[in-house]
Amino acid sequence: MLELTDINTFYGEAHILQNVSLRVEKGETVALLGRNGAGKTTTLRTIMGLTPAKKGQVVFNGLDITKLPTYIISRMGIGWVPDNRRIFPTSTVQMNLEIARRDDRHKEWDLEEIYKYFPTLEKLKNHKGEYLSGGELQMLSIARTLMGNPDLLLMDEPSEGLAPKIVREVMNVINELQKREHSILLVEQNSVLALAVSNRCYVMDKGRIIQQSSAEELDKDVELKKELLGI
């Protein structure tokens, strides 16, 4: 479904991503791991066209999207759950969801389905975004992205700053998406959590992919995890 080949991305003169190659198959959850500053979020931004690659190629569903603008990439079926949630603070929960609704794609997710799997959001549907807790904001951010019915979901640090109970709820959502055979590229600082829900994983360091394997294989290798991730 998604393939990055020898991606090189810069911020000004700073060479951030260096020959990054990875892939996500249909229905697969892939974790992208690494310490802070490794280049994980820049990888997602490159896929979405927010920080376009200077060299290399991004292919989605067989089409080269490397140089396309972000809104076209989104319309093609890639949804992004950013690490800072980015909801509309003065709009209600339901308005945030309605804004993201797509009428030109398959309708697996609509308001009824969202409220079924996010019952807390239905209770808060008339509340403005600025009054939500961190966990509620994260749920809204994920739900809003699903309202666009993407084929591929990019998730950037979905558990960051959340209480353990809310983290479990987020993981339950990811498990539900997997049952529906959604394709997910998951950037997550919490490697224990990420490896538990992923099929395969890549580890980044200083803008390069330094390890790739099945999630189970890395999870079982305590010494390698310590070397690569410091855990």
Question: Has residue 40 got a pLDDT over 90?
Answer: yes
Question: Has residue 64 got a pLDDT over 90?
Answer: yes
18 within 8 A of 26, measured Cβ to Cβ: no
According to the model, what pLDDT value does residue 13 have?
Answer: 92
Class at the top of the CATH hierarchy for domain 1-71+191-231: alpha beta
Per-residue pLDDT of 138-153, as tens digits, reads 899 999 999 999 999 9
Two tokens at 72?
Answer: 């076209």
Which is nearest to 73 in space by CA: 90, 88, 61? 61
Which is nearest to 34 in space by CA: 212, 223, 222, 217? 212
Give residue 122's pLDDT band: very low, low, confident or very high (50, 70, 90): very high
According to the model, what pLDDT value does residue 73 have?
Answer: 96
Question: Has residue 32 got a pLDDT over 90?
Answer: yes
* Cα→Cα distances 222→78, 217, 227, 228, Å: 34, 10, 9, 10
Question: Has residue 107 got a pLDDT over 80?
Answer: no
- Highest averaged pLDDT of the listed ranges 31-40, 79-88, 166-175: 31-40
Q: Which region among 20-34, 140-154, 163-177 has the lowest average model confidence (pLDDT)?
A: 163-177
Q: Quick one: what percent of the chain has pLDDT higher than 70? A: 99
Question: Has residue 103 got a pLDDT over 80?
Answer: no
Residue 231 CA to residue 224 CA, distance in Å, equals 9
Which is nearest to 136 in space by CA: 162, 113, 155? 162
According to the model, what pLDDT value does residue 145 have?
Answer: 94
According to the model, what pLDDT value does residue 159 have?
Answer: 84
> What is the overall mean pLDDT for the chain?
92
According to the model, what pLDDT value does residue 11 have?
Answer: 93
